[in-house]
Structure 1
Amino acid sequence: MGERSGLIRARLRGASVAKGEVLTFLDAHIECTEGWLEPLLTRIKDDRKNVVCPIIDVISDDNFAFHTGSDMTYGGFNWKLQFRWYPVPQREVDRRGGDRTIPLKTPTMAGGLFSMSKSYFDELGSYDAGMDVWGAENIEISFRIWMCGGTLEIVTCSHVGHVFRKSTPYTFPGGTGRIINRNNQRVAEVWMDDYKKFYYKINPGVRNTEYGDVTQRKELRKDLQCHTFEWYLENVYPESQFRLAFENIGEIRNIATRKCLDNMGRKEHEKLGFYACHGQGGNQIFALTKNNEIQHDDLCLDAAPRGGAAEAITMYKCHGKRGNQEWIFKKTEKTIIHAPSGFCLDVPPQGKDAPVVTRCSGHSSQQWELVEKDMM
């Protein structure tokens, strides 16, 4: 390239000079297995609008040990438009009729490894050249494939190993946030219709980043006569956290302290936070789902109190099986009950920022109000 240009523009350059009928994109840090390519090419031969990915096996970045990947996970995304692996839903298991050699339809691709008809890649608009370096290009092309008439699959008979590194060995000019925010905004502005408002309220700081001109990408979508994002959510990814099938979504505010539940950027297995209400959305947006979960993105409040002792609340991946993740909001008493234990959601002791569940006492520290936000 002459100078560092980033993954997206490097791939565009490669695609522009490729001579074959099929483009196959692979990261540098991969190892192909025997017979990996033929199953991918077969699917494209069947239909040029099939865009296909292998199962991604894991190569350890410590000792290069090879671990076979699973065909029981597929690609999705969270409230921040970050790619995530999720369990394959029952509807897709049923469609395949128990035959695990049948390719798996996936809402999004991981992005590093896939094959696609070269003519279809060009026809569909290749990559968004307005994106910088790396990030969100896999989400953008996934939306575009599905919404504009293609199909995205994981071909279970194809395996390619990939070194998953613990940290990124390169820099993002101007900072990681600037690059990722810019790219994500371009996805939201072009492809997400009114759902972009939900994305911005969950990620209010994103708007501080300039994202460039998206006029040509919007014209591309119009020319391709693509479906709406609502269609994508209904027909391709009904399990998405963007479905907004919630009883309530907004702040959960404690009446005694006027503080709010706050995810505070914490990850799975970390304790729930508690902070002054700021009204800006983001980490203080929680959803009370129809399944009686209290959810932030793909994490749910989870508690396992022992005996009569107070127990801190941990954020775990939502599993949809109720149990320790089932909560009941009693409007009259303004209490949030942990269903398995019967304990109440309570504010932490003074100076602590981790809410607890403890025996219900009727005290105002156990009273909450759900402050609903207009997310759309």
Structure 2
Amino acid sequence: MRTVHSVLDKSPPELIKEIILVDDFSNKEYLGKKLDNYVASTFHGKVKVIRAKRREGLIRARLLGAASATGPVLTYLDSHCECAEGWLEPLLDRIALNSTAVVCPVIDVINDSTFEYHYNPDASGLNVGGFDWNLQFNWHAIPLRERKRHKSPVEPVWSPTMAGGLFSISREFFEKLGTYDNGFDIWGGENLELSFKTWMCGGTLEIVPCSHVGHVFRSRSPYKWRSGVNVLKRNSIRLAEVWMDDYKKYYYDRIGHDLGDYGDVSSRKALRKKLQCKSFDWYIRNIYPELFVPGDAIGSGEIRNYGGSGYQMCIDSPAKRSDLHKPLGLYPCHKQGGNQYWLYSKIGEIRRDEACLDYAGHDVVLYPCHGSKGNQHWIYNQRLKQIKHAITGKCLEMSISKDRLKVHDCSSTNKYQQWTFSEFNATKMAEVMAIADDSQEED
């Protein structure tokens, strides 16, 4: 109810046609008749509750709400939000100016323990949405090219993707885009699907600095998957098949090309063709050129060590933000990609997305990739199977205990220093080394 009250308290009444609460077959007693009575006695018809006849999950529950709505603009808010003063007008203004604009507020943090609202007025510190090749949403700083496009820090910012829980969209444009893929189950992937097709099919995706909504970020998902079904993976495969063209292979590399049964996507592909949407390559080149594309890499896959007896070990890390600045570990090789999928870039980085192996004299850690070589520059010798740290001239080595990485004097007979990539392009490596030699001669 905090969300509903804040919408009504912080919005001009003439801009709110209705507020729709979707009950996704909740088993909470207080969300039944007690909620109906409260809504009827408090909001006098401005708020209505619709109830799913079975548990639908977030995606189809949102579609139920859209089907029941009568206004020309749909504004989605997660249930655990609080709107700030003046949050709505800037969103609706953008859509009034451009009906193909999909607009998001700045998301402030509400403490999940105290429910204190942490308002962030600093527009210069705004982040935009991105994604990695696991098809996971992430935040990153506004790129320089986008900052140069602006005359004022309060202008709407173009964002490659959106988080998905808080946004406004023209009903007509939402329906034209085919709403959400009704083959998606529960939750996951719907935000990237809507982001990709918004840009590829003629729209823009914007974050509006003058609109603020607070959000409680939960530490775990409230949904449970059906036994044996990873719905996020299944949804992501559907997304990749329809929208990502040849780039889908980079996601499939991450999941070991284990696609399983992802259902029929022919109607979604037909929709894309009907709308004459642009290619995913266009999206990468024009909307998200900052994204590291694995196709530029020299090596990829697991990085396997040949030291010790028994099972072989691979460099292993989730490579999440919480793993940065921490030593890397190893785990028995499993050939499933995931935490053991790495890329060897043409500038000598060993990386996954924006996290690179970095050595500054103590532990080998994950550190944000900076593109300046230095501590993140590694040279792979395929013949000797050695990964040499360029600055120190020493080699990457697995510890005798097989649980950590270290850097030590190189030895061609030390199997703990012998590594292989699942895929390695020796021709591309030779070309890169030749270019490097030429540039050194010019210097």
So what's the TM-score if we normalise by structure 2? 0.76
Shift of residue 174 of structure 1?
A: 3.0
- Which residue does the alignment assign to 1:52? 103
Code of the residue aligned with 1:200 in structure 2: it is Y
Q: Which has the higher helix share?
A: 2
Once the two structures are superposed, residues 258-296 of structure 1 have per-residue CA deviations (whole angstroms, 9 ceiling, x without a partner) of 945432546423432334555554433321223432102
Q: Secondary structure at the match of 2:109?
A: strand
Task: Give the distance between the partners of 1:205 and 1:243, measured in 2 at CA.
Answer: 15
Quick check: 1:343 aligned with 2:400?
A: no
Shift of residue 126 of structure 1?
A: 0.8
Task: Give the distance between the partners of 1:262 and 1:290, measured in 2 at CA.
Answer: 20
Shift of residue 369 of structure 1?
A: 4.0
Code of the residue aligned with 2:363 in structure 1: it is A
- Which residue does the alignment assign to 1:182? 234
Identity of matched residues, %: 50
- Which residue does the alignment assign to 2:248? 196
Q: Secondary structure at the match of 1:194?
A: helix
Shift of residue 79 of structure 1?
A: 1.6
Compared CA separation, residues 273 and 205, structure 1 to 2 (3 A):
farther
Code of the residue aligned with 1:203 in structure 2: it is I
Shift of residue 45 of structure 1?
A: 1.2
Code of the residue aligned with 1:103 in structure 2: it is P
Q: How does 1:21-100 map to 2 (within 5 A)?
A: 21-69=72-120, 71-97=125-151, 99-100=152-153
| Correspondence for 1:146 among 193, 199, 203 | 199
Q: How does 1:267-306 map to 2 (within 5 A)?
A: 267=320, 268-269=323-324, 270-305=326-361
Task: Give the distance between the partners of 1:94 and 1:77, measured in 2 at CA.
Answer: 22
Q: How does 1:1-376 map to 2 (within 5 A)?
A: 1-69=52-120, 71-97=125-151, 99-174=152-227, 178-204=230-256, 206-208=258-260, 210-242=261-293, 244-254=295-305, 256=307, 259=312, 261-265=314-318, 267=320, 268-269=323-324, 270-305=326-361, 311-330=362-381, 334-349=385-400, 351-364=401-414, 365-372=416-423
Shift of residue 73 of structure 1?
A: 1.6
Do 1:55 and 1:156's aligned partners in 2 also have CA atoms closer than 8 Å? yes
Comparing 163-172 with 258-267, greater Cα deviation is found at: 258-267
Task: Give the distance between the partners of 1:323 and 1:159, measured in 2 at CA.
Answer: 40
Larger radius of gyration: 2
Q: Secondary structure at the match of 2:259?
A: helix
Shift of residue 195 of structure 1?
A: 1.8
Q: Secondary structure at the match of 1:244?
A: helix
Task: Give the distance between the partners of 2:348 and 2:119, measured in 1 at CA.
Answer: 36
Task: Give the distance between the partners of 2:336 and 2:254, measured in 1 at CA.
Answer: 9
Code of the residue aligned with 2:220 in structure 1: it is S
Once the two structures are superposed, residues 76-120 of structure 1 have per-residue CA deviations (whole angstroms, 9 ceiling, x without a partner) of 1112101111122222122225x2112111111000000011111
Shift of residue 202 of structure 1?
A: 1.1
Code of the residue aligned with 1:168 in structure 2: it is S
Task: Give the distance between the partners of 2:334 and 2:113, measured in 1 at CA.
Answer: 43
Shift of residue 358 of structure 1?
A: 2.4
Task: Give the distance between the partners of 2:367 and 2:161, measured in 1 at CA.
Answer: 23
Code of the residue aligned with 1:285 in structure 2: it is Y
Do 2:110 and 2:117's aligned partners in 1 also have CA atoms closer than 8 Å? yes
Shift of residue 38 of structure 1?
A: 0.9
Code of the residue aligned with 2:264 in structure 1: it is D
Task: Give the distance between the partners of 2:336 and 2:231, measured in 1 at CA.
Answer: 22
Compared CA separation, residues 141 and 6, structure 1 to 2 (3 A):
same
Could you tell me which runs of 5 or more consecutive residues in structure 1 were left unpaired when the two chains were aligned: 306-310
Shift of residue 121 of structure 1?
A: 0.7
Do 1:185 and 1:206's aligned partners in 2 also have CA atoms closer than 8 Å? no
Task: Give the distance between the partners of 1:239 and 1:260, measured in 2 at CA.
Answer: 32
Once the two structures are superposed, residues 220-255 of structure 1 have per-residue CA deviations (whole angstroms, 9 ceiling, x without a partner) of 111001111111111111122345322333343445
Shift of residue 205 of structure 1?
A: 6.7
Code of the residue aligned with 2:98 in structure 1: it is D
Task: Give the distance between the partners of 2:424 and 2:62, measured in 1 at CA.
Answer: 41
Comparing 240-249 with 109-118, greater Cα deviation is found at: 240-249
Q: Secondary structure at the match of 1:55?
A: strand
Shift of residue 332 of structure 1?
A: 6.7
Task: Give the distance between the partners of 1:283 and 1:112, measured in 2 at CA.
Answer: 27
Shift of residue 19 of structure 1?
A: 1.4
Do 1:104 and 1:153's aligned partners in 2 also have CA atoms closer than 8 Å? yes
Do 1:263 and 1:296's aligned partners in 2 also have CA atoms closer than 8 Å? no
Say which structure, 1 or 2, has more relative contact order (CA 8 Å, 6+ apart).
1
Shift of residue 353 of structure 1?
A: 2.4
Do 2:294 and 2:343's aligned partners in 1 also have CA atoms closer than 8 Å? no
Code of the residue aligned with 1:252 in structure 2: it is I
Compared CA separation, residues 201 and 301, structure 1 to 2 (3 A):
same
Could you tell me which runs of 5 or more consecutive residues in structure 2 were left unpaired when the two chains were aligned: 1-51, 426-443
Do 1:272 and 1:354's aligned partners in 2 also have CA atoms closer than 8 Å? yes
Code of the residue aligned with 2:133 in structure 1: it is W
Do 2:377 and 2:389's aligned partners in 1 also have CA atoms closer than 8 Å? yes
Task: Give the distance between the partners of 2:305 and 2:424, measured in 1 at CA.
Answer: 16
